Structure 1
């Protein structure tokens, strides 16, 4: 069972949260709202915290369609229920890339992650079988 977090307790700003997420999941997000449009990052964090709470292979990592994002949010909400987490994900605000809502949800999720992590080692890229997530890696060529 999970330890619920009622409100974000992290003081990290958007850039610090992006850095944490990019290091943790081996991604290259540059904007908070990129994370919220597809929910794949949140799904993978749930897989890390609670193995078996969702089927990571079912997550649509490169979701470009709203239908894919809605599908991923359903997976996330189902995983929340499996681990006893109450409350709803603000799906509409996240899908509409409401930046304050995206930042608030990411802050909440970081607090939730910190309260529930066991320190288990996790290779995010290997867990998602090399599938990319988010924007492509910068090439260094302008």
Structure 2
């Protein structure tokens, strides 16, 4: 019957159980599934089925009744409780179509009163479908594929006896049994809500405490992550500042070397006729020394580990003696003046 539309399925279940369902999702409470199965077997404890269920734990109680019935009648169809209780359309539609097919294959033609079954507290209180031991109904066990074939054999038709002494005594005995059964079930029904309410309250408190502890752990973990990110951010900011200082330092150094180089370039291409070749040579030597000085000049406050002075630094670099001998009086003057200058200061071309 998978070809039936949801409108036809809802119409069928509303007529069968005298309900007023408007959506397939409403079957997710499990109550209608229980009574559909009860209309086939007539042995489900309908007093435990809650048609007004609105909470998930109430849905689960209904599905427990349904699962017990499946086990009792050896129905092999698995019940996807976790999906059905979410009240999703597709999941409930598939199970609804299956239980409709099961009902068609196993129902009988006897009338079924859904209202009296929902109000019934015990099987003996329902006289709609079962009357006397002479009208025993035998049902076939379901087959392995989840369907059950029902064979009901009635050994005798219902007989309405006259007003005899035997029938009157039978009626008296039945009424006593009904009264006793009603009193017992009323006591059980008055005690059962207290037990259920206490169980629900303890379950809610346990869930609440578990949820609070989980939130506290997540909050602590988030704080630790935030502190770690804050420290990483500080390290990154310090690294960026150091890189900016280093960038400016080398830029200014290259700019100063560029100024010296331009001065030497002009001196070579446009030599001063008033200077002797010896003076020009000395100026070139001074320019070379200045460029070398700029290359190895350090930033303020920075010291090379294990080096006491620039002279020691040059010695450690194994500079040749020829380089030392090229230092003239003029070149030495330019070198000393250059050491006192800021790195980003422009060099006067007339110095050379």
Q: Same fold (TM over 0.5)?
A: yes
> Which structure is richer in relative contact order (CA contacts within 8 A, separation 6 or more)?
1
Distance 2:12 2:23 in 1: 13
Q: How does 1:1-142 map to 2 (within 5 A)?
A: 9-36=1-28, 38-52=29-43, 54-129=44-119
How many residue pairs are counted as aligned between the two chains? 120
Q: Which moved more, 1:109-118 or 1:9-18?
A: 9-18
Distance 1:115 1:46 in 2: 12
Give the alignment's TM-score, normalised by structure 1: 0.80
Structure 2, unmatched stretches of 5+, are 121-352
Distance 1:20 1:10 in 2: 14
Distance 1:11 1:87 in 2: 20
Question: Would you say the 8 A contact 2:27–2:87 is kept in 1?
Answer: no
Offset at residue 10 of structure 1 (A): 3.5
Offset at residue 87 of structure 1 (A): 2.6
Q: Which has the higher helix share?
A: 2
Structure 1, unmatched stretches of 5+, are 1-8, 131-142
Offset at residue 69 of structure 1 (A): 0.4
Give the alignment's TM-score, normalised by structure 2: 0.33
Rg larger in structure:
2
Which of structure 1's runs of 4+ aligned residues deviate more than 2 A? none
Offset at residue 127 of structure 1 (A): 1.3
Distance 1:42 1:25 in 2: 10
Alignment RMSD, CA only? 1.3
SS of residue in 2 equivalent to 1:11:
coil
